[in-house]
Structure 1
């Protein structure tokens, strides 16, 4: 039988705000799955979108992760420093005819609901985007670790998607695929809001001849109004000065037995107990969980 690669997972926050309960759940869940597999856990800063980034947020997120005892096993990678790698991948796709320069604007694509199947630009743009050419019938199916079998007709539901934006910034889909491959990521564990992006990433992996990791999408944490925390007024920073209560709430939101964690006051003891008692089969299969507050 072929040898399997050692488990390599990652947590990849965008520096658009502080670490909140939802991002802590994703970080803790991915860390637990990596530790349960005896593998490596990495942190990657996805700082690709300067207009949306909050100054100092990346450093604040890393400091918060450290306060929660969640340290990257290797040096932290920053996407803002990796433009040459993304350009090399884009050049390959363009040379192979798998990507193309596109002058279409959002208004040009309004009648098709934003889905690009052929160029309909009314005029050339000085700053065109670059898109992946998605052939008709590009149906991608994969088995998610929690959601089960997922299938998407990328051509019909998404269309030719952007790899480099018209404003010159790299698109998330290209960057994440290149970085997962170069870091040897075997298992992607992240929030369920990115489940819909996975077929695009698999299609792009296939176009670049890159391996496809396993995927597991954890439930999102929603506020009392049913809104995702990153878009919610409830997305207050987790209290890094008192990390144990927040870790306990994340543990319960991940479907784990509260009684499995001893009544300890320090982070290191809690994380050791969590790694020893974590049961992946208890992870909730539903796409979201309510925000857990202290009483």
Structure 2
């Protein structure tokens, strides 16, 4: 697959409108890609259709325009790509790497490590959850901000779900397939997704996909010490305050301040003076509080 040296993406889920934490991720992914003469694009991760928040996709697209981000490719929606995910499941099925699971949450109880109770049952796949078999390998990588990370999925998680009983394709599967098909080389996202990375790298390995480079950003927090999220009532990004919010996001990333101007010019200035080493380390922006 031909590709430029650096291909990055911003991939929000429309479970609510974008908030300031989303903006930090968008700015960092955009500036990191552009500072390396790389490509950058937007993908809407909307496979979990029941959780789509009304109007959030429209807000995401409006924010991309209002804040001056320029996607190098047509924006894609995962809900239009379900056949691709099924084709990969079929591939894993043929390799005997997945199986049907009839376990309910009640049956599993409080145990967060799946013990593989359905592995040997050879259940039919229809109307069942589909799990991938994990082995004893250690998944290790060096995150650009969080340092060395290693994980044993068999000891920490067990076989995990790729397709739910209700037919929804799991985030872990969809993101791995799309990153591969879109030629992504680098992923910049929030530290709340750090524990997903081992699962995604495991899938990359068993599918013989290239492994990616990761940078997990510290999270913006509210006054209660909670990460900004829809669940914690984070305020949606105000489109009419784009320059001011953009200036705050760039500062939160530890970058040299930019002049208030049009968002496009502010981003160009941020790219010109982008310094990855200045991004705060750790899992949260402990000295930054945002609504």
TM-score relative to the length of structure 2 = 0.93
Aligned residues of 1:222 and 1:228 also touching (Cα < 8 A): yes
Residue segments in structure 1 that go unaligned for 5+ positions in a row: none
CA distance in 2, matches of 1:40, 1:245: 26
Aligned residues of 2:140 and 2:149 also touching (Cα < 8 A): yes
Alignment map for 1:1-295 (pairs within 5 Å): 5-110=4-109, 113-119=111-117, 127-135=127-135, 137-258=136-257, 261-262=258-259, 264-290=260-286, 291-293=288-290
C-alpha deviation, 1:120, in angstroms: 5.6
The SS at the match of 2:107 is: coil
Aligned residues of 1:100 and 1:130 also touching (Cα < 8 A): yes
Residue segments in structure 2 that go unaligned for 5+ positions in a row: none
The SS at the match of 1:107 is: helix
CA distance in 1, matches of 2:205, 2:169: 19
CA distance in 2, matches of 1:234, 1:141: 35
The SS at the match of 1:146 is: coil
C-alpha RMSD of the superposition: 2.0
| Per-residue deviation, residues 1-36 of structure 1 (Å, max 9, x unmatched) | xx9952000000000111100001001110010011
CA distance in 1, matches of 2:223, 2:209: 41
| Per-residue deviation, residues 74-127 of structure 1 (Å, max 9, x unmatched) | 00011000011101100010110111111111122125x1321222699x8972
C-alpha deviation, 1:233, in angstroms: 4.0
CA distance in 2, matches of 1:32, 1:114: 37
C-alpha deviation, 1:207, in angstroms: 0.9
CA distance in 2, matches of 1:171, 1:201: 11
Alpha-carbon spacing, 1:25–1:75, altered in 2? closer, same or farther (3 Å): same
The SS at the match of 2:61 is: helix
TM-score relative to the length of structure 1 = 0.92
Alpha-carbon spacing, 1:233–1:195, altered in 2? closer, same or farther (3 Å): closer
The SS at the match of 1:75 is: coil
The SS at the match of 2:229 is: helix
CA distance in 1, matches of 2:228, 2:289: 12
Aligned residues of 2:221 and 2:289 also touching (Cα < 8 A): no
Between stretches 47-56 and 163-172, larger displacement belongs to 47-56
C-alpha deviation, 1:210, in angstroms: 0.6
| Per-residue deviation, residues 220-268 of structure 1 (Å, max 9, x unmatched) | 111011111115545101111121110111011111122xx23x33212
| Per-residue deviation, residues 149-197 of structure 1 (Å, max 9, x unmatched) | 0001111111100000111100000000000000000001100011000
CA distance in 2, matches of 1:227, 1:292: 10
